Every structure is written in structure tokens, then in C-alpha cells.
Amino acid sequence: MFWFLFLIFAFTQSPSLINAQSPQLNTSIWMEQLLPQIGNLHLYDITLPGTHDAASFIITSALSPDPAGDPLLDDIILFQIAEQFGIPVQDIIIPWAESQNRTLYEQALDGMRYFDLRAAFNGSDWFSYHFDLGLSIIEHLTGLQKFLQTHTSEILIIEVSHFAATNLTKDDLNGLRKIIMDLLSQWLYPRSDNFITINDCKKIKELL
Ligand SMILES: *[C@@H]1O[C@H](CO)[C@@H](O)[C@H](O)[C@H]1NC(C)=O
Ligand SMILES: *[C@@H]1O[C@H](CO)[C@@H](O)[C@H](O)[C@H]1NC(C)=O
Ligand SMILES: *[C@@H]1O[C@H](CO)[C@@H](O)[C@H](O)[C@H]1NC(C)=O
Ligand SMILES: *[C@@H]1O[C@H](CO)[C@@H](O)[C@H](O)[C@H]1NC(C)=O
């Protein structure tokens, strides 16, 4: 009985950083607003809101290369067969593939701080994709750049992954790296072997 009561007590007394009733919390600057509470924490101490397949709010009907780089699958034989039978494959794919309906900039204003960006190379340019290609990676990152320019105390984690391409080369990947550096180098945190706190991040940023 004692333990039962204790557990309930511990649960109800656990510190909450955000008071759900608080009318003052502004999602576009929540890190800045909560800095007194979270400044001494490490990023792994807090749960960051993020979006799955963040860039899939707009997709075209251009199929992306197969994520495993399999040229056979790029031909998407099944799709061709389905279309021969009059099955509107794109009409089925698009609503399933669009897991978001806000741009990355809007998602950042909504409070998202982790972005799962999946990149496909069509042979000359990098795009987001989720089955089908989306907007260019440049366009997506420009949205996040705009957010960082105007919200100077927020920390974003941008994961660019799931590269899909046929015969991806090192040069293609360097092209993607260059896009990221050209747009965001000003805000990138240097690699660190130590676990730094959010306050340390702010200090590092002031030194950069
Ligand atoms: C939230 O913060 C942004 C950025 O500082 C500001 O432009 C906006 O007016 C604020 N919104 C509210 C409802 O206070
Ligand atoms: C975006 O998705 C949310 C969650 O499903 C929904 O509430 C909202 O109405 C949608 N907005 C638009 C413009 O489709
Ligand atoms: C990649 O997509 C862009 C934009 O749609 C297009 O201009 C370009 O020709 C495509 N590259 C290849 C190799 O298909
Ligand atoms: C990709 O590489 C394979 C194996 O080297 C080759 O057969 C294929 O033609 C290449 N595809 C393209 C689009 O370059």
C-alpha cells in the first residue's frame, strides 16, 4: 500500500516543464521561453517535438528512385501494370504518402524542433521524397533558414537521410553536403565529444 501511494505521489509530483494551462507558451519560441527551466539540461534530457517524413506535405507524381538503388525497381513494373488496368496508382499513393500538411517553416513555428528529411537524387538535383518526389531540398532548407534567421534562441535537429538514388556517387553526396553548408553553415554546431547543455549551445553560438 505504501509503495502504491508513493508511486502515485511521485507521478503527480514529477516536474513538468510545460504547464498545459499556461496561455503564455508561444510554440514558435518555446525554447527561448523555457530557457530558465531547460538551459542546464542536455538535449537528451528533453523530448523534442518532431515530424515523421517532415517534407512530405507536397509530393508530385514523379516517382522517386528506389531507396535501395535497385535500377529494376526504378522501372516500377507493378505501377505500369496497374495503370494498364486503369488503377489510378497516384491517386492512391499521394494521400498515403503525404504525412504532413504544413511546410517545414510552418512546422517550426508550430514548435517542431526535429525534422526527418528524406532525400532522393534524380540524377541532377536533390528532392524530398516519400514514394514520389517532393520539393527540392534547397527549398525545404531555405524555409528552415528563414526560421533560424528570425528565431535566434531555438535549436533545430535536421536529419537528412534515406538517400534514394540510382548509382549514387560521392560527388552527388558532396553536392547535398554543399547545399546544406551553403544554407545553414552559420547555424551548425561544431562536433563535440562532450555532452553540452542548451546554455552551452547558446554560448557557443555567441562565439561563432
Ligand atoms: C509568438 O512569437 C512570435 C515570434 O516572436 C511573434 O511574432 C508572435 O506574435 C507571438 N505570438 C503570440 C500569440 O504572442
Ligand atoms: C492538416 O492536418 C491536420 C491534422 O490532421 C488537420 O487538423 C488540418 O485541418 C489539416 N489542414 C489542412 C489545411 O489540410
Ligand atoms: C531532375 O529534376 C529537375 C527538376 O524537375 C529536372 O529539371 C531535371 O532534368 C531532372 N534531372 C534528371 C536527370 O532527370
Ligand atoms: C547503374 O549502375 C548499373 C551497374 O553498374 C548499370 O547497369 C546501370 O546502367 C546504371 N544506371 C544508371 C541510371 O546509370
Determine the Cα–Cα distance for residues 55 and 127; give it in Å rounded to an integer. 10
- At how many degrees (to 10) do helices 170-184 and 137-150 cross? 20
Determine the Cα–Cα distance for residues 143 and 110; give it in Å rounded to an integer. 14
| CA-nearest residue, atom 7 of ligand 4 | 71
CA of residue 89 to ligand 3 center, whole Å: 22
CA of residue 101 to ligand 2 center, whole Å: 6
Residues 6+ apart with CB under 8 A from 78: none
94: containing domain: 4-207
List the helix and strand counts (H, then E) for the chain. Answer: 10, 5
| CA-nearest residue, atom 11 of ligand 1 | 26
Ligand 3, atom nearest to 123 Cα: 13
Ligand nearest to the CA of 108: 1
pLDDT at site 16: 56
Cβ 33 under 6 angstroms from ligand 1: no
Tens digit of pLDDT for each residue in 137-155?
999 999 999 999 999 999 9
Cβ 28 under 6 angstroms from ligand 1: yes
pLDDT at site 189: 87
Per DSSP, 88 falls in state -
Q: What is the pTM of this model?
A: 0.80
Give the total number of structural domains in the chain.
1
- Average pLDDT, integer, range 168-172: 93
Cβ–Cβ < 8 Å for 126, 119: yes
Please, what is the average pLDDT of the chain?
Answer: 81
pLDDT at residue 171 greater than cutoff 70 = yes
Q: How many CA atoms lie within 13 A of 128 on its CB side?
A: 28
pLDDT at residue 162 greater than cutoff 70 = yes
pLDDT at site 23: 65
Residue spans of alpha helices (H) in the chain: 2-13, 30-33, 35-38, 71-74, 77-84, 89-97, 104-109, 137-150, 170-184, 198-207
- Split at pLDDT 50, 70, 90, the class of 7 is very low
Q: What's the longest Cα–Cα distance across the chain?
A: 69
In order of 74, 89, 184, the CA distances from 165 in angstroms are: 9, 22, 24
CA of residue 116 to ligand 4 center, whole Å: 29
For residue 14, give the CATH number of its domain: 3.20.20.190
